[in-house]
Structure formats: structure tokens, C-alpha cells
Amino acid sequence: MTELIGYNTALALVGALLFGFSSGHVGAFVYLRKASLLSDSLAHATLPGLIIGFLVSTFFGMEEKNSWVLLLGAGISALFGVVVIQWIMTRTKLGFDTAIAAVLSVFFGLGIVLLTGVQSVSVGQQAGLEDYILGSVSGMLFQDVFFIGLVSIICSAAVVVYRRPLTAFIFDPVSGEMAGYAQHRMSFLLSLLALVITIIGLKIVGLILVVAMLTIPAATARLWTTGVWSMSLLSAFFGSASAGTGVIISALFPSLPSGAVIVIIMFIALGLSIVVTNLRGSNV
Amino acid sequence: MSADAISVTELTVDYDGVTAIKDVDFAVRAEKLTAIVGPNGAGKSTLIKALLGLIPTRTGSISCFGTLPKQYRKNISYVPQRAQIDWEFPANVFDVVAMGLYGELGLLRRFSSAHKDRVHSALMDVDMADFAARQISQLSGGQQQRVFLARSIIQDAELILLDEPFGGIDAKSEAVIVDILRSQKQNGKSIVAVHHDLSTVKDYFDDIILLNKTVTAFGPVNDVFTKSNIEKTYGVSNLDFLTGRG
């Protein structure tokens, strides 16, 4: 296999397959919770932290590829975005959609300003930063893939363990709470999973498009299935297959960013599914 | 037929920053069908939430068979308003009834064939056994309500709280649901339902709580469901429209 597609691509492929599976798995629940928009604002809110993380790692003379610091910055930044959304909602009369739109655009705008600043003074290898915005698998290291794969497996395991509480929480939160699963705890769990998926997906898909990993496979799977569990597994399969195919295509045509290719493949699967399920009349 | 199922003393609850119910006192007799009745905005849903132990109370106390609602939770089953549920959710009738077992199953315990039998038996109780594989989006309002009742029955809870079980359903389903509630009462369950239709109070319920921010009256329907108490709860101007057979 490695002779056929090269070591780096094989590495990226493994990471993409595992990440695609897990993002589809988690995404089914995010989709049913109708929290896609929140996930998108999370993703866009990672940008300022990503760049601050980059500056910090450069300042301390770490390797430019030190993705730990960047991802940590991205995570903190996204969490701060969620706090701001919560604050806007509790302290003002503005609605959820307004709070999300404000945080999404302001954080992303701030990130772009920082990015432009970084590029103009030309510290380090800023080229690496753009990979996190549009996704690129060309420079992935073994440690990156190991980290992405491990966290993906943990996220999927969490979905397996908490499938009943998450299902009850989304369908009928009060009854879920009566069964022993407090709504705020389940809401936190689902947000945390969405956040973690977003962070580990930055490298493969990029922050602009990572929300698609949580949404499109789930929407596709919803067309074919009539139960939560089968939907989440099919969504995981679609996510994995699309991410894997996208990585291979992106490796064959290195100028194509992997994130965009993956999203286009997922969209084709969704489009075909809509057509076929409508023709069969099985659209439930 | 002995102790009170619920007793509430001087209960005041704020909801969204306003006082939704104030200085509420009442008791619910065990093994009876009790209606909570009052105009829109009277605080009925807030009261239910407080009885479930879901929202903090400002003053006063609630006791369910002598314990706090939160500690009694495993013995309470709740049937939400149909309108609060997304019926496009990917689940069939069997799946929804099985959710009644989630508390008992915990995170990882396998769903065994014994559990499966219990789901089917609960579906028989509400006369929905033939619908087990039906998607919930394809049910009528009355059928949806019966599925929720089956989910409640399977929990085998002592206390059943229902938020408008008869809201927006046809007369035939309403009769079926009343029968189910009565047979649950025969099985020793205590049942409290938020109810809107004053004309059916006397037929369906044993006891009533008249609520408009505060309790205007509570007790057996025959004693308490009087013209003057209804006037006190709803205000005189609405009376002609509301009384019906009351």
C-alpha cells in the first residue's frame, strides 16, 4: 500500500479514515440536536487562538510544526467563543442565532487580522498556518496521525457508551433528566465532543469547512435510516469513506486542499442519496 | 389509599425572572386521578417542573411520598406535551417505549429479550402492539400520546405526571387514554395531569387543583369544582365560554 501511494499519503489516509468515522459518529447527534450552527461558530472561533498559539511557539523557538501548541490555542479560543455566546444570550435580549453569528464573524475577523499581521512581518513559516484554514494533509507527521487517530477513537467510544443518554437528551430532555442524565451534563458532553472533533479536524479539513464533517454525513445517513443508532453508524461510514477518498484525491493533485475535496465528495453522496431515496419513496 | 402522594407547602417558584406561582399549598391523594386546571399563564407547567424537581424553588417545600422530588425521581414518570417533541426524530414506536427503560438499563447493560418482552407488553396495554415498527412521524396525535403512555407504564413508576395528555387529539383516542389512566390508577398509581377542557373534568378526574399563580381551591372534584371556584380561578368574564357541564 505504501509503495502505491507513498508513506505520507498512507499516514494521512489512516488519520482521515479514523477522523471521518468519529466525526460522522458524533455528527449524527450534533445534527439531531440541531447544533450544526453552534459547531460552525466553534470552528471559526478557533482562528485567533490558532495564530496566538503559532506566535507563542515561534517566540519560544519551538519547532514550527509543533501542532500541540497551535491546537491548544485553537481549543482555548473556541471555548472562549462559547463563553461569549452564553454571555450574550443570558445578558442581552439577543437570540441564539444572533449570538452565534456575532461570535463566528468577529472571532474569524480577528483571526484574519492576526494572520495578516503575522504574514506581513513574516515570522517563521506561516505557510503552515493556512493548512489549518483550508486543510492540508501533505505535511502530516506520524505523531499528528497518532494523535488524531487516538482522539477519534476516544470520541467514538464516548458515543458508544453514552448513546442512550444522548438519544434521550435530544429526543425528550426532561425524561432523560428523570432517568438520571441531567440536561446540562448531556449538553456539555455533546458540545465537548463537537469541540474536540473540530480541533482534531483542523489539519485535515480546515476550520472553514470542518463543520461539514459534523453535518453532511449525518444528513446523508438520515435519509437512509430510521433509527438513531443505525443513523450514527452509517454517518460514521460516510464520513470515513469521504475523508479517505478526499485525502487520496488531494494527494494525487497536491494543489487541491483536502478539506474542499472531502466536502465536495460528501456533497455528491448527499445529492445522490436525496435523488435515490426520493425515487424509491423511502424518504422518511 | 392512605398517605398523600404529593404535598406542597407555601411553594413559590420563579421562572425566567418572574414569580410564576406564589404561596401554593395543596395535597394530591395517592391512587387518584388529579387534574391541574387553570388559565394560560397560570403557572401549570412551572408547577409540573417544580414537582419533577427540575427547577429551583424560592420558598416552600414539596414532598413526594415523604421525600424530596429529586430523591424520588426514579419513581416518577413524566409524559411531556406532544408539541414539545420533535416527531421527525429517527425512532419507531418500539424505540420510544424502550427509552422508558434507559434509567434502569444505565449506560452499558444489554437490552435483553426480557426487556423486549416488557416493551411489547406495555404496547399491548395501550393497544399499540401492531405499531411497534412504525416510525413515530407516521402516528396520529392520539397514537403518539399512547406511545408515551406505554413508555410511562414500562417505568412502573408510582407517580405519573402528564402535561396536557388530551391536547389536540381526537375523541376516540381521548376515551382510550382515559381508560389507560384509569387502569393505571387501579394498579395503584397516583396520576396528576395538566388539563384544559373544563367540560370533561367531572367525567375523567377524581380530584382537582385550581391554579392561577396561586391555588384557588383543591380537593375532590364533586366538592371543589364549583361555579364560584371556577370564577375565582378564571375571572368572571370568561365564564360562559368555559363552564360547559361544569
pLDDT at B111: 93
Mean of pLDDT over chain A: 89
Is B211 in a helix, a strand, or coil? strand
Q: How confident is the model at residue A123 (pLDDT cuts 50, 70, 90)?
A: low
Answer for the pair B32, B207: CB distance below 8 angstroms, yes or no: yes
**CA A274 – CA A281 distance, rounded (Å):** 10
CB pairs < 8 Å spanning A and B: 65
Confidence of residue B1 (pLDDT cuts 50, 70, 90): very low
Is the pLDDT score of A91 beyond 50? yes
B75, B65 contact by CB (below 8 A)? yes
Q: Which of A53, A38, A50 is nearest to A84 (CA)?
A: A38
pLDDT band at A125 (very low <50, low <70, confident <90, very high): low
Find chain A residues with C-beta within 8 A of B74's C-beta.
180
Given a contact cutoff of 8 angstroms between Cβ atoms, the answer to whether A22 and A204 are in contact is no
- pLDDT at res. B68: 87
- What residues of A are in the B interface, CB distance below 8 Å? 32, 161-162, 164-165, 167-168, 170-172, 174-180, 222, 225-228, 231, 284
Tell me: pLDDT of A127 over 70. no
CB contact under 8 A, B85 and A171: yes
Regarding predicted confidence, which is higher, A253 or B101? Answer: B101
Q: What is the percent of chain A where pLDDT is above 90?
A: 65
Query: Which pLDDT score, from 0 to 100, does residue B201 have?
Result: 93
B121 pLDDT tier (thresholds 50, 70, 90): very high
Measuring CA to CA, which residue among A134, A100, A130 is closest to residue A115? A130
Report the distance separating Cα B36 and Cα B49, nearest Å.
Answer: 13
Pairing of strands B214-220, B59-64: unpaired
Q: Mark yes or no for CB contact A227/B96 under 8 Å.
A: no
- The cell 426480557 sits on which residue? B114
Residue B90 has pLDDT above 80, yes or no: yes
Residue B3 forms contact with A (CB below 8 Å): no
* Burial tier of B180 (Cβ tally within 10 Å: 0-12, 13-18, 19+): buried
Residues with Cβ within 8 Å of B175's Cβ and at least 6 positions away in sequence, in order, are: none
CB B161 within 8 A of CB B148: no
Instruction: Quick: pLDDT tens for B136-177.
Output: 999 999 999 999 999 999 999 999 999 999 988 888 889 999
> Does residue A126 carry a pLDDT above 60?
no
The answer on pLDDT for B246 being more than 50 is no
pLDDT in tens, A3-28: 567 888 899 999 999 999 999 999 99
Query: What's the pLDDT score for residue A282?
Result: 55
Q: pLDDT of A150-180, one tens digit each?
A: 999 999 999 999 999 999 999 999 999 999 9
Q: In this complex, which of A164, A171, A177 lies closest to B89 when CB atoms are compared?
A: A171
Give CA–CA dist B122/B120, Å, rounded: 5
Q: What is the ipTM of this complex?
A: 0.89
Do B99 and A180 count as a contact with CB atoms less than 8 A apart?
Answer: no
Interval A27-58: pLDDT, tens: 999 999 998 888 999 999 999 999 999 888 87
Residue A235 has pLDDT above 60, yes or no: yes
Whether the predicted model's global pTM rises above the 0.95 cut: no
CB spacing of B90 vs A161 below 8 angstroms? no
Cell of A224: 437512509
Report the relative pairing of strands B159-163 and B190-194 from DSSP bridges: parallel
Q: Could you tell me the pLDDT band of residue A122, with boundaries at 50, 70 and 90?
A: low
What CA–CA distance (Å, rounded) separates B142 from B154? 19
Answer whether A178 sits within 8 Å of B80, measured CB to CB: no
Q: Which B residues, 193 through 222, put their C-beta within 8 Å of a C-beta on chain A?
A: none
Share of chain B above pLDDT 90, in %: 75
Burial B194-203 (b: 16+ CB within 10 A, else e): bbebbebbee
